[in-house]
Structure 1
Amino acid sequence: MSAAVLSAVIAANLALAGGVAAVMVLRGPIRRRMGAGSAYLLWLTPLLCALAALAPAPMATTPLAPIVLTVGKAAREVVPSALVTPMAASLALLLWVAGAVVMAGVFAVRQARFTRSLGPLAPHPRLSGLLQGRHVNASPLVLATPWPRIVVPADFDARFQGEARDLVLAHERVHLRRGDALINALVVAIQCLAWFNPLVHLGARSLRLDQEMACDEAVLARRPEARRLYAETLLGALLVPRAVPFGCHWPAGGAHP
Structure 2
Amino acid sequence: MKKTLLIASIIVFGITLNSCSKDSDDSGQYAYKVRMTDAPGPYDEVNIDLQAVEVIGSNGQTITLNTTAGIYNLLDLSNGISTIIATSDLGDVKASQIRLLLGTNNTLKLNGISYPLATPSADQTGLKINVTQTLNENVENNILIDFDANTSIVETGVGTYKLKPVLRTIVATTTGSIQGTITSVGSKATVTATSASNVVYSSTVNAAGQFQISGLPAGNYTFTATPKLPALPVTQVNVTVSVGVTTNIGVINL
Q: Whose strand fraction is larger, Structure 1's or Structure 2's?
A: 2
Between the two structures, name the one with larger relative contact order (CA 8 Å, sep ≥ 6). 1
TM-score by length of 1: 0.23
